[in-house]
Structure 1
Amino acid sequence: MTRTNRRNPLTNARRKGRVAAAVALAVASAALLAACSSAQASTPTTAPAATLRLGFFDNITHGPALVGLQSGTLQSALGKTKLSAQIFNAGPAEIEALTAGAIDAAYIGPSPAINSYIKSHGESLKIVAGATNGGASLVVAPGITSAADLKGKTLASPQLGNTQDVALRFWLKSKGYQTQVSGSGDVTINPTENAQTLALFKTGKLDGAWLPEPWASRLVVDAGAKVLVDEASLWPKKTFPTTVLVVSKQFLVAHPQTVAALVKGNADAITWLNTHKPEAAELLNEKLKADTGKTLSTAVIDRALSKVTFSNDPVASAYPTLVSHAVAVGTGKAGSIKGLLDLSALNTLRAKSGLSAISTGGE
């Protein structure tokens, strides 16, 4: 005899009700979790960074970095974010480190920054402030008195594609000379580390170099070189950017507060340099000695400081020209620089002090 398992209708109704309620609760919970997940995804974490890794050069054209590091101004502005600094010789190598994620921010010449931005279609970095304008020259052996004397000569620049390298190649092109990125041409250009350039010039193995300060002054004061071209003479109002402050785009998105703090530290260092000129040489030399074990002579550092202007303004109007120069000499490629400058943190800081905004040049 077969037994039929019949449930009480009321029990079945209650059971169905409990199941429906459980399903409804599960659906509601899933929806809530999805909503929270979506909100979290659309609102990235922007906490201050634990560490900021900064690149710079031991050059007078990187004065805000040197003073900011030696005096503790940059670390003070960053607060609990630990500042870690690394020395470079020229911009292209520094860009490689930034692109590889080895550093987060850098004091650098504008040409490598522009080149990186164009190559990455705007994804690699942002210029967030200026640092130094002016302070680069073509210095040559005393026997060279004009561009016509340079044919067949050997000149140096800090590194292929760096800001001074582009300036040298374009100026030579404007004088009718052909140069190649391989180094050959009517004038040979050997990208050379600055300290080695000084040594080679002293022994007569180089006829000159296009250099930033203090290296141009070192060749003039310490090695008897003469200035053939002061780069300031080639620019409107004799103003051109030599050093800017950049941050990786990824770091800026993740840690805008830290970038704003870095911009403030840079501004504080610039203010100190411009209001403490008698003490500036001493503090700069302290940093150079800490890094290299050597200081600059009074004659060299005073001359170098007379050639530069420390400023938050990155001179945005110069950037289209810098792009065209790099393209013309084969060290850069054409492309848009729209969005290259993000001066929002800088201009917010300036507004708090009652200062006018610095233009991004409509780039």
Structure 2
Amino acid sequence: MMAGCASAAGSTPEPEDVTEVRLGYFANVTHAPALVGLEEGLFAESLGDIDLSTSVFNAGPAAIEALTAGAIDATYIGPNPSINTFIQSGGESARIVAGVATGGAALVVRPGIDSPQQLVGTTLATPQLGNTQDVALRVYLAEQGYETDPSGGGDVSITPTENAQTLTLFQQGAIDGAWLPEPWVSRLVVDEGAEVLVDEAELWPDGAFPTTVLLVRADFLEEHPDVVERLLEGHVAAVHWIGDNAAEAPGVINAAIEAETGKPLSDPVIERALEHVAFSVDPHAEAFETLVANGLEAGTQKDGSIDGLFDLRILNGLLDTAGAEQVSAAGLGEDSP
């Protein structure tokens, strides 16, 4: 993909035609619109003659690295890595263009740990240092009076670990629990007998907290808004498809997870996971100032402004055309189509 072409001094460069969009996502239930959009051909339909290539990531920081390097153009990702890249780049790196999912994250522990007071001296995993679940765990532990540090020291040892490896370590008894997104929460609960100590929904007003958003490189959005609109058409269609096909959705999502991981989830796992996640194009921008405060408290991000993080104009244009309610940037960007 070419971002643009050189021009004579004083003239405006004309972007070259886009022939491919490079999209990142995770093989998680919290990224189900990406999985459904691919499985059901909704992105292919909306993008038309533009090819779609995909990259699968385990956690947000790795996806951000690819986005920053220009290896991908957009990615489904958690809110905290989105905040981090925006602040670290001085607002130049990327924009959130839509919401994806809320809920679907929890702290699960081995049987016998029944209260936060029993966490001292334990070892807990998160998907990656600085990702959304990692920040949530560090803030929760601080609120319980525990000290942690990025190197794994403190009253509770936090070991950022790939989700599949976390499952193995829990099976082996090498860790005591983990703060994870779905379907990994349900895999540990249903398949391995873990218990939920903290459902993150309990920590947020009305139980609604953003788990996944759709993030686009700022320069790609500026140069190719028409292509981003077509990508968003596929995303909106995928969110609606999940809502309209409750009976079929578990099978479609599970087939996509099997394609990426080599193994499907059991029916009880996929069903439990979907019970704990809600899908919406609303990014819940009103929660992001709290997420910034959490990241600072956890010591995993720099201080800075997130004014301008959201650009919901294209999304709201699509929603307006469809006669649907528009979503708000909560004063943290643009949202008028």
TM range (shorter): over 0.9
Amino acid at match of 1:77: S
CA distance in 2, matches of 1:114, 1:346: 20
Amino acid at match of 1:231: E
> 1:353 aligns to what?
322
Percent of residue pairs bearing the same amino acid type: 56
Note the C-alpha offset of 1:48. 5.1
User: Whose helix fraction is larger, Structure 1's or Structure 2's?
Assistant: 1
> 1:28 aligns to what?
none
Check whether the contact 1:132–1:310 (CA below 8 A) recurs between aligned residues: yes
Where 1:278 maps in the other structure, the secondary structure is coil
Note the C-alpha offset of 1:332. 0.6
Where 2:220 maps in the other structure, the secondary structure is helix
Check whether the contact 1:46–1:256 (CA below 8 A) recurs between aligned residues: no
CA distance in 2, matches of 1:183, 1:249: 34
CA RMSD across the alignment: 1.2
> 1:74 aligns to what?
43
Q: Larger Cα Rg: Structure 1 or Structure 2?
A: 1
CA distance in 2, matches of 1:39, 1:244: 38
Q: Deviations over 1:239-294 (max 9, x none)?
A: 00001001100111111101011111100000000110100011111111222221
Note the C-alpha offset of 1:354. 1.2
CA distance in 1, matches of 2:181, 2:296: 22
Spell out the pairing of 1:9-48 with structure 2 (5 A cutoff): 40-41=11-12, 44-46=13-15
Q: Deviations over 1:120-157 (max 9, x none)?
A: 01110000001111100000011100000000000000
- Give 1:56's match in structure 2, choosing from 1, 8, 25: 25
CA distance in 1, matches of 2:131, 2:78: 7
Spell out the pairing of 1:209-248 with structure 2 (5 A cutoff): 209-248=178-217
- Are 2:261 and 1:292 equivalent residues in the alignment? yes
Unaligned runs of 5+ in 2: 1-6, 333-337
> 2:107 aligns to what?
138
Spell out the pairing of 1:1-363 with structure 2 (5 A cutoff): 40-41=11-12, 44-46=13-15, 49-363=18-332
Q: Deviations over 1:74-101 (max 9, x none)?
A: 1211111110001000000100000001
CA distance in 2, matches of 1:116, 1:177: 28
CA distance in 2, matches of 1:355, 1:261: 18
Note the C-alpha offset of 1:335. 0.7
Name the TM-score, length of structure 2 as normaliser: 0.95
CA distance in 2, matches of 1:166, 1:332: 9
Where 2:248 maps in the other structure, the secondary structure is helix
Q: Deviations over 1:192-224 (max 9, x none)?
A: 000110111011111000000000000000110
CA distance in 2, matches of 1:105, 1:136: 23
Paired residues, what number?
A: 326
Unaligned runs of 5+ in 1: 1-35
Check whether the contact 1:57–1:88 (CA below 8 A) recurs between aligned residues: yes
Q: Deviations over 1:3-28 (max 9, x none)?
A: xxxxxxxxxxxxxxxxxxxxxxxxxx
Check whether the contact 1:51–1:82 (CA below 8 A) recurs between aligned residues: yes
CA distance in 2, matches of 1:245, 1:46: 23
